[in-house]
Chains A and B, each alone.
Chain A
Amino acid sequence: MEILHIENLSFRYPKCESYAVKDINLNICAGEFVVLCGQSGCGKTTLLKLIKRELAPVGEKSGEIKYNGTDIKELYDRASASEIGYVMQNPDSQTVTDKVWHELAFGLENLGLPQEAIRRRVGETASWFGIQGWFRKDTDKLSGGQKQILNLASVVAMEPQLLILDEPTGQLDPIAAADFISTLLRLNRELGITVILAEHRLEEVFPVADRVLVMDGGKIILNGRPENIERGLLSLNENHPMLSGMPGAVRIYNMLQRRLPDIFNPSELKPRGECLLTVRQGRDFLEEHFKGEGQGDVKPERQEEPYAIEMKNVWFRYERDLPDILTGMELRISRGELFFLLGGNGSGKTTVLNVISGLNKPYRGRILIDGKSIKDYRGNALYRRKLAYLPQNPQTVFLKDSVRADFVELFKALEISRADYEPKIEKISEKLGIEGLLDRHPYDLSGGEQQKCALAKILLTEPEILLLDEPTKGMDAHSKLALKAVLKELKTEKMTVAVVSHDVEFAAENADRCALFFDGSVISSDVPEIFFAENSFYTTAANRMARRLWKNAVTCEQVVEKCIEEAGKRRKTVGEDGNKTCEKI
């Protein structure tokens, strides 16, 4: 049965030339799990908000949206509020009240349910979501993941038929995100709630989706089963930007198909002609077709350079009665190195950066920045052309009404005259591609744009050492590629960069060296090819697929390189054996 029917929907914001969404035709059946993907700014949010009447933006709209056969404009207020649920990205700003139980009851109060009915529904919901343990807590005391589960639960308490989620895991770490997605999947599978989910992080949701929609420029360009999306993208454009955002298995399949076309006949592959989606499928496929020789290439160790950052037996805790966060931490980062510190949520990775940047003082141990003890940097000396720190939320970097005003404020503090700073602003804007954003209000920018502008501001202090906290949080694949390019350029400038991150895929692609932080200290550290090969759980999707063939292949590109190498060798031996036709690899 059709639950949502959209016909010829177009919409544009007031005073806008172009349409935010255009000619959307879409049918969604009851009980479907639909994933909506596309680059930031492609119109996903606008489309989702148009479906939820209460949130529909103001502007010029044509076409119709029907929910269960009724135009959403004609739905009863109560039905519209309760039957179509909407969850947004930011866990903090969606929470209305101060107590968990009150938050759960909020929607039901609005519907005017009697006390006993609310008590029952709230209790039921809390039990189903497993939140009875923090039922009486303050909402402010919850972790980001818990907050987002609460936001979901308080919407589900109203018994929606259709659940719309706009990048709900954008602000969560991978573990919390996977938790959230599995809860969502349970809602869909066990309660039959129809789900429309907009997401950037596709690794988990892509294989379980019933249908995937790809949006670009306000239009739905693809609409089909996840297995067919890769083929669809390929037929639209060989190098479609969305391809880089696909799960590892899809990317490997895609690259193999493009780069080994002469010996790669999709019709002979298993599963027949269908794209690989999960790590298991990818692994089976690779092991069936390749033998795997050698371990894969390992980046040579960097030459010994003097240390830019050195931590010697550092101990830290926030308060006297609280447990230690850093327990005898030892860390050495050489000059010019791009270093990634990985680790679980709440393990204290951010604290490491706070301590290195002098914002928190350890109670024991020494920290040397460029060979000089951090205590010997008087006043602001450390933050002047030496070290810069970009916090997790780039918004915290801005205080003024425009990005440019913020830059100017910084130069005033650095005592640089106007004639000197104008070219600097120009140069950095060009480098990061933010020329068009300089006169915008920092809060009006999208997450990725904010990140770039914040990075620009930090770089204007001309640091030698750059600290980044979770720079890829909430970013789409395209922005990640842009960040990758920036990091590469910084590396050619010999800047030392220390990144704290959850994002193993991003670390594998970019790091000179990775380290795992656990229980207050670094427990392993190596070049990514060895680091991930030695890990069994904490590793990339590509490595999980290929680790039995080529242990040290950790990125999709490396796996594909190895496949091509092996195919090439085989072709050579086949050629020597006589002109047999190409054997199936």
Chain B
Amino acid sequence: MKAFSGYHPLTLLIYFLSVLMTAMFLWNPVIQLEALLGAGLFAAMLQNGKETAGDILFYIPLFIMAALANPLFSHNGVTILFFMNGNPVTAEAFIYGIALAVTLIAVLLWCKCYSIIMSSDKFIYLFGRAIPKLSLVLSMALRFVPLFKRRFHKVRKAQRAMGMYSSKSYTDRLKGTLLTFSAVTSWSLENAMETSASMKARGYGLAGRSNFSIFRFAPHDFLLLAFNVLLMLGTLMGAAFGELEFYYYPQISGSSLSVPGLLAYVCFGVLTLLPFIIELKEKILWKYFISKI
């Protein structure tokens, strides 16, 4: 359903790393705004209206708090707006605060998109390539956690129905929780014996284990990766020429707009908008196909 999540995990990892690293380490207001815009549009595409509205309600206060915190504690800068408790509050610190808040929220939103797109099996696949044993352990752990939780609740319920460990006394309840925890742990260990038997029965431990995944590196992955690399080159070139430098203290100053700088902005802008464009294209195509039927 989500077009972007259909890409190969490696392509996706490289994409997210490029965007996140650039947004975090290139201290440039345009870059930061682009990162925020891209993340916001992408997140809105991934979620339904209700979730997006909830997000906005959550991020706006966070934005205001982050933006206001900086001028309260940092008194650098030359343009003094007013004095508070005998301390100067400067325009530079204020703007720096806003930039900080933009970056913070952009990074948070990108991480959110990352967690939606990179499901556990993609993660395991990526790290499994490096350490095959680890990927199996991770996969087993991910299987184990919900099982443990379910069993815990079952035991808790059974005990409650006997009227055990559910009195008003706090220590009684705590004791019940601890006992349940230890019982479910030994239950799980007991089960682990059976799991290991099942693994052995299916040949675990034979030499030359291979690693299967359902992911395939398709042509569109190559295309996205190539785009990604090109756009990153364009962005980094701007940075390398020093055209993206920007200072907030003591006075706001940046390099004047030049060709490499402009190129970098365009490249990064396109890069951050890529997932949104891909999702949008998919949606339009989908609508188009439906309308044809």
Contacts and interface: CB of A to CB of B under 8 A. Distances in A.
A426 interface: no
A529 to B, nearest CB: 33
B234 to A, nearest CB: 35
Contact of A396 (B146, B158, B191): B158
B249 interface: no
A359 B152 CA distance: 15
B209 A410 contact: no
Interface string B150-168: 1100110111111111111
Interface stretch (B41-49, B182-190, B275-283): B182-190
Interface string A71-94: 000000110011001101010111
B55 interface: no
B222 interface: no
Nearest to A115: B212
A140 B147 contact: yes
B168 A388 contact: no
B163 A383 contact: yes
Contacts of B157: 354, 359, 391, 396
Contacts of A357: 161
Interface in A135-188: 136, 138-140, 151, 154-155, 158
B162 A383 contact: yes
A413 B147 contact: no
Contacts of B203: 54, 77-78, 81-82, 107, 110-111, 158
Interface residues of B, number: 54
B152 to A, nearest CB: 10
Contacts of B168: 379
A206 interface: no
A98 B135 CA distance: 11
Contacts of B146: 138, 140
Nearest to A394: B158
A108 interface: yes
Contacts of B205: 110
Contacts of A82: 203
B133 to A, nearest CB: 12
B158 A397 contact: yes
Given A54-B200, A55-B200, A380 B194 contact: no
B195 A98 contact: no
B197 A55 contact: yes
A108 B212 contact: yes
B165 to A, nearest CB: 8
Interface residues on A, range: 35 or more
Interface in A366-396: 379-380, 382-384, 388-389, 391, 393, 395-396
Chain B's interface: helix, strand, loop or mixed, by majority? helix
B160 to A, nearest CB: 6
B158 A391 contact: yes
B284 to A, nearest CB: 26
Nearest to A353: B161
Contacts of A93: 191-192, 194-195, 198
Interface in A317-355: 354
Contacts of A111: 203, 206
Interface string A278-312: 00000000000000000000000000000000000
B201 A55 contact: yes
Interface string B197-238: 111111111111111111000000000000000000000000
B208 to A, nearest CB: 4
B130 interface: no
A399 interface: yes
| Residue of A94, A391, A399 with most partner-chain B CB within 10 A | A399
B139 interface: yes
Contacts of A52: 201
B142 interface: yes
B198 A94 contact: yes
A361 interface: no
B206 A77 contact: yes
B22 to A, nearest CB: 32
Nearest to A113: B210
A406 to B, nearest CB: 10
Contacts of B212: 102, 105, 108-109, 113, 115, 118-119, 122
**Which of B120, B204, B207, B210 has the largest count of A CB atoms less than 10 A from its CB?**
B210
B180 interface: yes
B227 to A, nearest CB: 26
Contacts of B163: 380, 382-384, 413, 461
Contacts of A98: 120-121, 139-140, 142-143
Given A54-B200, A139-B143, 20 more contacts: A55-B200, A78-B206, A86-B201, A93-B198, A96-B139, A97-B143, A98-B121, A106-B202, A110-B202, A111-B206, A112-B207, A118-B212, A138-B146, A383-B161, A391-B157, A398-B183, A399-B155, A400-B183, A413-B163, A458-B162
15 contacts: A54-B203, A55-B197, A77-B203, A78-B203, A97-B139, A101-B214, A102-B212, A108-B210, A357-B161, A380-B167, A391-B154, A397-B159, A399-B180, A443-B187, A457-B162
Return the 10 tightest CB-CB contacts between A and B, nearest first: A81-B203, A383-B163, A380-B163, A112-B208, A107-B202, A396-B158, A110-B203, A389-B161, A93-B194, A93-B191
